[in-house]
Every structure is written in structure tokens, then in C-alpha cells.
Amino acid sequence: MLPGTLLPMISPETVDSRFKLDEKQAESLAQQFGTPLYVIDEAHFRHRIRRYIAAFQAAWPHSELTYASKANSTLGVLAIAASEGCLIDAASEGEFRAALAAGVPAGRCHLHGNNKSQKELAFAFENGIGQIVLDNFGEIELVADLAKSNPCPELVLRLAPGVDPVTHAKISTGQADTKFGFNLTDGAAEKALVRCLELGLPVVGFHCHVGSQLLDPEAQISGGELLAEFAARMLREHQFETRILNVGGGLGVHYTDSDNPMDVESYCQNLCAAIEQALQGTGLAPKLTQEPGRSLIAESGVTLYQVGVRKTVPSQKFGTRTYLAVDGGLSDNPRPVMYGSKYTVVPIRPSTEENQAFTISGKHCETDMLFEQVPLPADISEGDLVQVLCTGAYNSSMASNYNRYPRPCTALIRSSGEFALLQRQDTWDEMFTRESVPAGLQ
């Protein structure tokens, strides 16, 4: 374990590290796969993983990185993450099945979830999952029952440390008032550990995750510190030796030019230094785990759209507003509607025209406003391509068939520069294959 040295809390990532398509790539991809189109750059993604692993190991050599597959569970993405040494965090049976389908050994997977069913847990046991993160007391009893007739994977208790991060309320998970985990403040966490020990379950440590898109990482660092302090107290009071501390993910990314997340090297150093200080004198030397998802894959992806209708209308807010409708929208990126998320939009065609403010809307039967007051060349017109940066996370994984639109393709730019298909567009037959019209309705 390296001596921890706290760095300045604000150490922003000043370099724009987001992947961007050049004009030739964009036009070739649109011609080959159509639009809207998700694009992932393999070399960029691999670099992000390698940098995170190196930063983490420099701060805490006995460490391990787990990719949070909820960010993007496309099979090719999971295969790349696993090949770079990541374990896979699955938040459902479906995400676990995706990891298996991608060739990831079950023992390299972790199962999360705040309301796991007996069926989900049984599937995890039967397939030899490596770790289950326990979230509630009922789940402890379900796992104990399954363990009577099956080898039990290692178990980690998810704790709610009572930390309220600076992020959107809908992606904040570490506060006391949360559906996730065992609360530290009301004694539930200690009771959960005692119950597991009574049942003889193979608990190895503790987990917390305070939220996502954290541009100020102080909350995550505080969460890690509280986790370590709890581990120290459990050693004193229950002789429980913590072997794993999982401090979750949450480091923010550059959605817009004004976002300044802490660089991953400073983040890991500060996080590990706080944990080391909390463990000082205990003799505990646990493996540290982090679960980044967004911070690994988001900046490696873009979404490519084609511009359609251009329309200028009166606006109380702006005097006039000019809309650009693109050939996607709510069904391929619900985050602006859900969270008010903002993105950077970049034109593909070079232009000498000055920029004008446009509101980019989708084509769905909703307000479907994607990006408000985006600066784009004044001569942008129907048929032009635009790319939305930093869409590698929570776009493909949240996509739907709303208004019966097919979910887009995902294309991979290989490290060699060649294009490959990761996920094809839905077909019309697939869209209706789950449905039937009972006799007498037609």
C-alpha cells in the first residue's frame, strides 16, 4: 500500500478527451449503416480503461476495476472491457446473460440490484457468478436458502453511507433516503453483517455508490472514507476482517465544454488516500474495487444524425427560435428529457458561415427537445450530418421503440480504422414478434 497524499481537490481534466468523427469517417459510416447511428471508437475505449487501471494501481496496487455494464451492455463493448482486464458489474439477470454471451467467464461477473428475485439469484448461483452484492435483509435470507444446496459466491454488502452528492437527484444514490443498500445511520448495515455472520455466509466486504456524473468528487471520496471507517469498526466490534472495499463509480465526463471533471489520476489518489487514512492502525489491507461505467465508455462514443426540417418560429424566451429536426430523438437518447442532460453537438460539413443558435429536436410525437440553443453554422440545412459527442453511455442502453421507431445500429471503429457492426438496427418483424391479435379482434 502506498502512502496516501492528498492532492488539491479541484484538479480538472483540462484536455478535451472526447472522441470525434472526422468528415470522411462520418460520411462513410452514414452511408454504410444509416442514421441515426451510435459509433464507438475501440482504441479510445481501450485507452480510457488502461489509463483508469494504471491510475488506480498507482494509488492502490491491490486494486481491481469493474466495468458497470448498465452504461452500455452491447456485447462487443463488454468483450473489449473484459479483454482489458475489467470485471463486469451486472445490475440484472439480463446484463449477466449479456456478459456470458460476450464470452466473459461467470466468475468475473458481479450481480447488483435492489430487488433481486429468487429466480435471478438462482440463475446467478447455477452459473457460478463470482460475487453478489447484497442489498436488503430479504435477500440475505434468499441467498442463505440457496447456499444450502449450491456453492455460494462471495458476498458484499451494499451500504448507504448517508452522503448527498452534487449531481442530478435521479442519479444520486448514496444519501440516507435511498432505495439502495443497508443504511449506516440507522444501524441497518451492522445488523446485516451480524445476520450474515450468524448464517455463516461468505461475506468478504462492503460496497457503496453515491451517484453518477460527479464533477465534484468530494462525495465519492467521503463515501469511501465512511466505508473504510465502518470496516474498521466491524473489526473492533465483531472481529470481521474486511477483504474487499468497493467504492463504486461516478466520476464525471465532458458532456459539454464547461464540464471539468477531476482527472482520473488525482481522483484515484485522493480517494485511496482518504481510505488509507481511515484504515490506519487497523491492520486491514483490503482489495479496493471501483465500478466506473460512464467514465470509461461515454467519451468513446458519438451519435450521428442527419438534419431534416428547419423551422423558425416566434418564441417568448428568445424572440424567435429556429428548430432543426434530426432523424432520431427521444427513443435513442432519453436523457435530455429524463435529466435535462446537455451535450455538445458538432457539425460534420465544414462551413465559413458564422454560428447561429439552433434548437435540435427529434421526430417523435412529443416536445422531444434534445438540445437547446446549440451554436451551429447558419447555413446548416437538410441532409447535413451532425455528431453528438459523449454518447457512449446510457444512450444505446436506454433506447426504446417509442413511436415504433427501430433502435439504431451501433458501429465500432476498430483500432485498425476499419468499421464493424456491433448491433444492427431493429427490423419491423422483430418489433412485432412479441405481439399477437387474439381471435375475433380483426
pLDDT higher than threshold 90 for residue 161? no
CA dist., res. 88 & res. 106, Å (int): 9
Q: Give yes or no for a contact between 27 and 350, defined as CB atoms under 8 angstroms apart.
A: no
Q: Which of 194, 139, 188, 200 has its CA nearest to residue 159?
A: 188
Active site residue 409: no
DSSP classification of residue 70: G
Angle between helical axes of 42-59 and 264-279 (0-180°, round to 10): 30
CA dist., res. 215 & res. 218, Å (int): 9
What are the sequence ranges of the domains in the chain? 112-292, 299-425
pLDDT score, position 14:
67
pLDDT score, position 178:
72
273 in helix, strand or coil?
helix
pLDDT band of 8, cuts 50, 70, 90:
very low
Phi, psi dihedrals of residue 99, rounded to the nearest 5°: -60, -45
Reported pTM: 0.93
Topology given in CATH for the domain delimited by 299-425: Lyase, Ornithine Decarboxylase; Chain A, domain 1 (2.40.37)
pLDDT higher than threshold 80 for residue 327? yes
Percentage of the chain exceeding pLDDT 70: 93
Distance from chain centroid for Cα 23: 28
Let me know if the fold of 112-292 is the same as that of 299-425. no
| Architecture field, domain 112-292 | Alpha-Beta Barrel (3.20)
Mean pLDDT of 343-363: 95
Mean pLDDT of 397-419: 96
CA dihedral 29, 420, 98, 46 (to 10 degrees): -90
Pick the residue with more confidence: 162 or 283? 283
pLDDT score, position 179:
82
Q: Which of 241, 139, 248 has its CA nearest to residue 199?
A: 139
Percentage of the chain exceeding pLDDT 90: 82
Query: Which listed residue (109, 196, 208, 365) is catalytic?
Result: 365
- Convert the pLDDT of each residue in 71-125 to its tens digit: 999 999 999 999 999 999 999 999 999 999 999 999 999 999 999 999 999 999 9
Mean pLDDT of 152-158: 97
Residue 420 pairs in a beta bridge with 412
Angle at 103 between CA 156 and CA 133, to 5 degrees: 10
Q: Which of 400, 412, 405 has its CA nearest to residue 428?
A: 405
